[in-house]
């Protein structure tokens, strides 16, 4: 789980750094920027980082649910 926390922090730091480097990403002023421009690539990285962060959160939730299910199964009384 520590590795996932580190990855989560790295994703947040990367997004902050890209937003600091490309102010136009704050207001979505991306029209007229040529294809392949670094700002568009930075925007794509942010989008994918957010998706990965959401997937990590979903994964953590599933781990929590699995642990709860296992805990309940241990306390279940069989007749």
**pLDDT tens-digit map of 12-69:** 999 999 999 998 888 777 778 888 899 999 999 999 999 999 999 999 999 989 888 8
pLDDT for 53 equals 96
**Among the residues of 22-37, which ranges form H helices?**
24-27
What pTM, to 2 d.p., does this model score? 0.78
Instruction: Report the C-alpha gap between 41 and 33 in whole angstroms.
Output: 11
Number of domain units in the chain? 1
Name the residue range of residue 32's domain: 2-75
**Cα separation, 12 vs 10, whole angstroms:** 5
């Amino acid at each position: 789980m520590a590795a996932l926390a580190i990855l989560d922090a790295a994703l947040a730091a990367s997004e902050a750094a890209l937003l600091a480097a490309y102010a136009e990403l704050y207001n979505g002023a991306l029209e007229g920027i040529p294809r392949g421009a670094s700002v568009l690539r930075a925007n794509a990285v942010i989008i994918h980082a957010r998706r990965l962060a959401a997937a990590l959160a979903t994964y953590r939730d599933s781990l929590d649910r699995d642990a709860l299910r296992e805990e309940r199964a241990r306390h279940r009384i069989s007749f």
